[in-house]
Amino acid sequence: MLTLNLEEENLNILFEENPLKDIFHHDNTEEYLIAVSKVSQAVKRFLDHNKKPFSGVSPAQLRPLFAKVDLDSPLSDYNTLLDEVGLLYTNHAVAFHHPEYIAHLNCPLVIPAIAAEIMISSINSSLDTWDQSAGGTLMEQKLIEWTCNEVGYGTEADGIFTSGGTQSNLMGLLLARDHYSLTHLNHNIKLNGLPPEASRFRIFVSEMAHFSIQKNASLLGLGEKSVIRIKTDRSFRMNSILLEDAIKQEIAAGNIPIAVVGTAGTTDFGNVDPLQEIGRLTAKYNLWYHVDAAYGCGLLLTSKYRGLINGIELAHSVTVDYHKSFFQPVSSGAFLVKDKQLFGLITHHADYLNPKDHDDDGLPNQVNKSIQTTRRFDALKLWFTLRMMGKVKLGSYFETIIQTAAEIAALLQADPAFELMNESDISALVFRYNPRDNRADICKMNQFIKKSMFNGGEALVAGTKINQSFYLKFTLLNPLTTIDHVKNIFNIIKQHGNEYLQFNKTTADFRRN
């Protein structure tokens, strides 16, 4: 009993000296500034020390360090904490900002957006209702209005910030499904669930469309079988003739076409489907038209290449990902609709959150348009960016990326050791290493190259399969990446490829002898 009293006394002294110092509060600004400053210095060390995109660490090397961590025992100070985080994370974090990272759709960040992140996390507004966000709501709405205008929508358009392309594509298919059911079958899915006819609903996409279309069709209860994949032309863009043929075939089979998804910037090839022609067909057959511009939305920023996505304004809904092509931190995406009344299909009211009388009073509750409730104020990042940099400067970055990709494509075509699969509308190039005297398995050699590059970490590229064959892939999203950087990557690829060829030859000679 005496021990307990002594412990309580010690705790009381501690609280008197440091009353709740860890809570974000005006009494604790000094603690806040110290913490932010120390983290900023840790980020600086990350920038200073990462001279290549990746450390090459393996799960087997890193996992034992986590076994030693006792999450129930707090550390003594921020310096100790940041040392631990460095050991477990920042020393090995993939450096998307590095010019020789050209693997996936991860962009470098603009500094105004990073600055906004500090404010977003600190103030911690929730963008679901007006009484939790006030001015934040109006900032988000202003940015949605700006993006809708860039797409070519009129004043009846609207949208909502999302976590990214997968969520935005889910919302597009959700509205397509519910709109068809309500207008053609007089069936309200929100109230009554899926109609019997839902098993015959069909959605048409390019065979190069993002995997989230199949995933979302499954989540919506339509099944992956509802997604009809349309063959592409030689440039890996949806073939609109085959699209119309497929629509007719599904109708003849007794199925119900409800939507077409066009892609503005395919993940593998960076190409844009024929959006105008798809728009004409969707109008002809009275189908919902959704455009996935998660990658290609950067084309909105540039007058030089804006024509590549002409026809996007014909879509009923559009996906954009600011965290891919607007150089924003994840997450920052948006879902746009041509007619804001369509959001009524997913609006639910709760007396404790967004009662119906708020609509009558004109209070803008963003939760009415979202499938999320609590949402970060991610819009502030884009606000900082546009107000500090402007559309033209952002657009110049995207133009640089496209121009560099075109130059790289020319180099690949000119080098007999490489086979280039495509010319990209944006900045994704699919190719493989295959020197003339090669007698090895091409797929295995290129898989070896990719794995060796990842393990070495000097430069990172992606990989994909086309017609069951393995290829390497460049995805450029960094305006700092130059031709010299890429020439160095070519040399690394050839080095690892030649290592594989030499090993293959040595093994073959050994077997013969």
Residues 415-468 have pLDDT tens digits of 999 999 999 999 999 999 999 888 889 999 999 999 999 999 999 999 999 999
Cα angle 72-73-74, degrees, rounded to a multiple of 5: 115
Among 188-197, 322-331, 363-372, 389-398, which is the least confidently predicted range?
A: 363-372
Does 153 have pLDDT greater than 50? yes
> Contact at 8 Å (CB) between 209 and 169?
no
- Bridge partners of 465, per DSSP, are 470
Among 10-19, 165-174, 296-305, which is the least confidently predicted range?
A: 10-19
Mean pLDDT for 285-306 is 97
**Which of the following CATH numbers is that of domain 115-388: 3.40.640.10, 2.40.30.20, 2.60.40.10, 2.40.170.20?**
3.40.640.10
- The whole-number pLDDT of residue 507 equals 65
User: Which pair of structure tokens corresponds to residue 361?
Assistant: 């009073």
Helix (H, G, I), strand (E, B) or coil at 46: helix
Could you tell me where the DSSP H helices lie in 295-439? 322-325, 356-360, 379-388, 391-414
pLDDT tens for 14-57 read: 445 666 889 999 999 999 999 999 999 999 999 999 889 999 99
Cα angle 290-291-297, degrees, rounded to a multiple of 5: 150
What is the C-alpha R_g of the chain? 26
Q: Which residue has the tokens 């939305």?
A: 297
Does 1 have pLDDT greater than 50? no
CA distance 138 to 68: 47
- The whole-number pLDDT of residue 513 equals 54
Domain ranges of the chain: 2-93, 115-388, 392-512
Among residues of the chain, what percentage have pLDDT more than 90?
87
Mean pLDDT score of the chain, rounded to an integer? 94
Task: Rounding to the nearest 10 degrees, give the CA dihedral for residues 235, 239, 242, 246.
Answer: 120
Helix (H, G, I), strand (E, B) or coil at 481: coil
- CATH for 392-512 is 3.90.1150.10
Specify burial of residue 361 (Cβ count, 10 A radius: 0-12, 13-18, 19+).
exposed
- The whole-model pTM stands at 0.93
- Extended strands (E) in 306-386: 317-321, 333-337
Which 8-state DSSP code applies to residue 277?
A: H
- The whole-number pLDDT of residue 8 equals 54
Mean pLDDT for 243-261 is 98
CA distance 180 to 287: 8
Reported confidence tier of residue 58, pLDDT bands at 50, 70, 90: very high
Beta strands across the sheet bearing 460-466:
101-102, 460-466, 469-475, 428-433, 418-420
CATH class label, 2-93? mainly alpha
Among 9-18, 296-305, 335-344, which is the least confidently predicted range?
A: 9-18
Does 3 have pLDDT greater than 50? no
CA distance 23 to 411: 56
Does 508 have pLDDT greater than 80? no
- The whole-number pLDDT of residue 165 equals 96
pLDDT tens for 60-76 read: 999 999 999 999 999 99
Could you tell me where the DSSP H helices lie in 253-371? 275-284, 322-325, 356-360
Reported confidence tier of residue 317, pLDDT bands at 50, 70, 90: very high
Reported confidence tier of residue 4, pLDDT bands at 50, 70, 90: very low
Does 5 have pLDDT greater than 60? no
